[in-house]
Amino acid sequence: MALCEACGQPLPETFRSGDLVIRDNPPEALWRGEPILTTPTRIRLLSLLARLGRASTSALLMTLPGQDSGSGTVQVHLHGLRRALQAAHVPVHLIAIHGWGYELIWTDRR
């Protein structure tokens, strides 16, 4: 379950932004009704970034329970997520914010 970075409260289990739908339980992401083929871990990262627009590396690490807690782990998962989003033709960029975290930027909301 994704938590609000600002208040720590649980976020709703289904998030919709235009043609993007993300369900947290079980983890699933759809673009224009088609599944985005990636791992549950990467869907949790996408969920947090899509809901908040940007998130610190520490907030993203909190979505990776039981995994190596280094920022390199986040980088590896975001690399895979970028590839999955590109393959699904989702018009977003995941941008690193030096020394802080990552931002999800829509390039086209059609």
How many residues are present in the chain? Answer: 110
Indicate whether 109 pLDDT > 80.
Answer: no
pLDDT at res. 63: 85
pTM of the model: 0.85
Cα 56 from chain centre: 12
Share of the chain above pLDDT 90, in %: 71
Which pLDDT band holds residue 72 (cuts at 50, 70, 90)? Answer: confident
What are the φ/ψ torsions at residue 88 (nearest 5 degrees)? -90, 0
In this predicted model, what pLDDT tens digit does every residue of 27-56 receive, in sequence order?
999 999 999 999 999 999 999 999 999 999
Indicate whether 6 pLDDT > 70.
Answer: no
* Category of 46 on φ-ψ map: left (φ > 0), alpha (ψ -120 to 50) or beta: alpha
Helices (H) and strands (E) in the chain, counts: 3, 7
Peptide bond into 10 cis (omega under 30): no
Domain boundaries, the chain: 14-106
Question: What class is the 14-106 domain?
Answer: mainly alpha
